[in-house]
Amino acid sequence: MTGNEQTTPSLVIFDCDGVLVDSEPLSLACLTAGLNRIGVDIDLDTVRNRFAGTSMVSIMGHIERDYGIAAPAGFVDEVKAETLATFDRELQAMRGVAEAIRSLDLPVCVASSSDPVRLRHSLTLTGLLPLFSGNVFSSAQVARGKPFPDLFLFAAAQMGAEPTSCLVIEDSVPGVTAAVAAGMRVIGFTGGGHWGHDPGGADLSRAGAASIFSDYSNLSKVITS
């Protein structure tokens, strides 16, 4: 990419969970409790390290392959229902994110591993949905979720943007990996509650994030840096 393309993206693509809404501590806790109930010996830190930013389809495939436990009928729907109920009680938008997005004079959209119901539920609960004018894309719309590039490429195509002119805001290694594979510049966000273990975002940098930030008051600055 040229320097101009780096400083002036034609589209900013936001992940949702852990980027727009502080959902990961809630959803990962629900997932861990659910997996423990069906006999998977796994703790919260392992779930966070292995599965943050990935879809339930991918997660359950890993569980069956690595732990030899197939989810019983209805398990995924049960965990999703528990997660949404927890969101209703506790979910918050990231501090300052709404103001930061409103201040951008750039097209924006969302591209998330969450299923469409959870995705819109989260954005509606936190009042963020109107900021994206319906431009909200889910991994359910593509063949392969993150860490594959399909979702980001799909979002760019829907928005009429060239991948090389897009900037992605991500909080997970699979998400950063997907953005890099799509040929997009990616910035890592570590302001979510699940990033206490690595506030500097070393894992995201190793995966290919161009820079790291944790405070949305700095969004305009990091986008053009």
More confident residue, 113 or 149: 149
Q: What is the pLDDT of residue 3?
A: 40
Q: What is the pLDDT of residue 6?
A: 52
Q: What is the pLDDT of residue 7?
A: 66
Q: What is the pLDDT of residue 195?
A: 73
The percent of residues in the chain predicted with pLDDT above 70, rounded, is: 96
pLDDT tens digits, one per residue of 68-96: 999 999 999 999 999 999 999 999 999 99
Strand partners of residue 166:
11
3-state helix, strand, coil in the chain (%, to 5): 50, 10, 35
Q: What is the pLDDT of residue 4?
A: 39
pLDDT tens digits, one per residue of 136-165: 999 999 999 999 999 999 999 999 999 999
Taken as a whole, the chain contains a residue count of 225
* Positions of E strands within the chain: 11-14, 108-112, 136-138, 166-170, 185-189, 211-213
Q: Provide the pLDDT confidence category of residue 1 given band limits of 50, 70 and 90.
A: very low
Set out the domains of the chain in order of their start, with CATH numbers: 3-22+92-223 (3.40.50.1000), 25-90 (1.10.150.240)
pLDDT tens digits, one per residue of 175-192: 999 999 999 999 999 998
> How does the average pLDDT of the chain come out, rounded?
91
21 touches 92 (CB < 8 A): yes
Q: Provide the pLDDT confidence category of residue 212 given band limits of 50, 70 and 90.
A: very high
pLDDT tens digits, one per residue of 15-74: 999 999 999 889 899 999 999 999 999 999 899 888 877 788 889 999 999 999 999 999
- Per-residue burial over 148-159, b = 16 or more CB atoms within 10 Å of its CB, e = otherwise: bbbbbbbbbeeb
